[in-house]
């Protein structure tokens, strides 16, 4: 009987599908080489480009935060003493008004409604204003040509605000206010007045009442459009020794009814 002759060379394998173990090893090798290739390409990014991308992303995040969340402001005058001192720096939440409501007693920042601040800070800018002008181009600071003021919110739409005589206490909707935040060396109002806040407006006053060009001083031009309000001051963040939250004002208005 003739024996079947196998003509395959020693060590060779039959033709046909590859062994499953070999296929898996080939795929693993291919995937590993592919991964190393991708990492190699990432590692070849120039340092200057990597730095530029990081800076651009950081700038975009800063602009978004400033536009929609918080913004720092500098206090240039004594109109809010003793709550805010000259050269204090505050953080203002731009979620109020909007996401969160404003309340009587809040410290707010708003755009100059009708030339309360004489002149234009950019006409003969100081070094600080020059820096602000530069930062405002990329959205990291308020535009110094659009003057902002900081005051305390006293009356909202429909409120009846009264000062019966010079040096008397303020009344809002028939309730006499106890205002511990004002300058203790001066009374609550400079002159007698009796106003009702129009719809869509607010009435504001400085805590240093006799040194504040506020709604009381400007009379009929003293109402501030709600649309001009930038936000609510939340905290003094600089100097560090003065760090404090600015949230105690609304307690003075706790008994004030919503309607006169």
Which residues belong to the active site? 79, 151
Residue 162: both structure tokens together: 């009264």
Q: How far apart are CA 56 and CA 53, in angstroms?
A: 5
Q: How far apart are CA 58 and CA 98, in angstroms?
A: 26
Please list, in sequence order, all residues whose beta carbon lies within 8 angstroms of the beta carbon of residue 125, skipping any fewer than 6 positions away: 133, 144
φ, ψ of residue 73 to 5 degrees: the values are -135, 155
Please list, in sequence order, all residues whose beta carbon lies within 8 angstroms of the beta carbon of residue 227, skipping any fewer than 6 positions away: 200
Q: How far apart are CA 59 and CA 64, in angstroms?
A: 9
Residue 165: both structure tokens together: 């005589």
Q: How far apart are CA 55 and CA 185, in angstroms?
A: 49
φ, ψ of residue 242 to 5 degrees: the values are -100, 10
Report whether 159 contacts 260 (CB < 8 A): yes
Where helices occur in 69-162 by DSSP H, the ranges are 127-136
Residue 148: both structure tokens together: 């902002």
């Amino acid at each position: 009987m003739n024996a079947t002759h196998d003509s395959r060379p020693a060590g060779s394998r039959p033709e046909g599908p590859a062994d499953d173990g070999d296929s898996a090893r080939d795929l693993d090798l291919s995937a590993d080489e592919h991964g190393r290739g991708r990492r190699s390409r990432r590692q070849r990014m120039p340092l200057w480009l990597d730095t530029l991308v990081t800076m651009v992303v950081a700038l975009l995040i800063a602009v978004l935060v400033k536009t929609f969340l918080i913004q720092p402001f500098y206090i240039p005058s004594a109109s809010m003493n003793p709550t805010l001192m000259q050269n204090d720096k505050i953080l203002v939440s731009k979620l109020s008004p909007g996401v969160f409501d404003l309340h009587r007693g809040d410290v707010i920042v708003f755009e100059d409604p009708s030339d309360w601040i004489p002149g234009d800070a950019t006409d003969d800018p100081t070094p600080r204003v020059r820096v602000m002008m530069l930062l405002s181009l990329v959205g990291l600071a308020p535009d110094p040509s659009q003057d902002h003021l900081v005051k305390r919110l006293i009356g909202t739409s429909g409120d009846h605000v009264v000062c019966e005589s010079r040096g008397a206490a303020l009344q809002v909707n028939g309730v006499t206010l106890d205002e511990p935040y004002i300058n203790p060396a001066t009374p609550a109002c400079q002159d007698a007045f009796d106003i009702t806040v129009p719809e869509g407006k607010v009435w504001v006053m400085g805590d240093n009442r006799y040194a504040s060009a506020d709604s009381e001083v400007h009379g009929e031009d003293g109402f501030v459009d709600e649309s001009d309000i930038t936000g609510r001051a939340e905290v003094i963040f600089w100097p560090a020794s003065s760090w404090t939250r600015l949230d105690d004002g609304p307690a003075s208005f706790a008994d004030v009814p919503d309607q006169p």
